[in-house]
């Protein structure tokens, strides 16, 4: 794990890549210059690294407060998003367009950006990461906070895919 790669005043972000996602590694790290980066690897695409393992590492860094947000990259971005969203408090989404990368933070307080190295190239990845990091959750419009509270309540009510007994009545 390497922390640093940026100066004071930047956001604390974790990054992780599976064996396919590593193809965007340099572009993602380049886009995060000026921020404190917790680099969770992988550094080598020749050894299989499973995205659920990287999703757990990313989620744990956010849950502990070590990182404010994260970027998680696999081949399509889909598996990374599915796995990351299984963790409490993680709001991950696959974004392959700039609008979604910033709107997901502004309206939904997205804290994990998932990318697919087989879907976007380095230039687009840099744009997506920059939009994600620059965005801030909209606290002016109360509807966004209210929706986020509903999402948190849903997460709390659900247990292993079933509504908790107290909510099932």
At which residue do the structure tokens 């998932």 appear?
114
For residues 157 and 151, the answer to whether their CB atoms sit within 8 Å is: no
Give the ranges where 14-159 is alpha helix by DSSP (H). Answer: 25-31, 51-64, 78-84, 98-108, 122-134, 142-157
Q: Is there a catalytic annotation at residue 107?
A: yes
What angle, rounded to 10 degrees, do the helices at 98-108 and 122-134 form? 20
Q: Is there a catalytic annotation at residue 102?
A: no
Q: Which of 19, 35, 74, 102 is catalytic?
A: 74
Catalytic residues: 74, 107
């Amino acid at each position: 794990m390497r922390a640093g790669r940026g100066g004071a005043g930047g956001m604390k972000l974790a990054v992780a890549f599976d064996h396919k996602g590593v193809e965007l590694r340099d572009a993602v790290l380049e886009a995060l210059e000026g921020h404190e980066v917790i680099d969770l690897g992988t550094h080598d695409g020749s050894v299989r690294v499973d995205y659920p393992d990287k999703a757990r590492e990313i989620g744990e860094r956010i849950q502990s407060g070590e990182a404010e947000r994260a970027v998680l990259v696999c081949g399509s971005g889909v598996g990374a998003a599915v796995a990351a969203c299984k963790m409490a408090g993680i709001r991950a989404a696959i974004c392959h367009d700039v609008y979604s990368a910033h709107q997901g933070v502004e309206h939904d307080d997205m804290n994990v950006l998932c990318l697919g190295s087989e879907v976007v190239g380095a230039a687009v990845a840099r744009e997506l990461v920059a939009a994600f990091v620059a965005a801030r959750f909209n606290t002016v419009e109360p509807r966004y906070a209210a929706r986020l509270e509903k999402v948190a309540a849903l997460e709390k009510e659900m247990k292993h895919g079933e509504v908790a007994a107290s909510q099932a009545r």
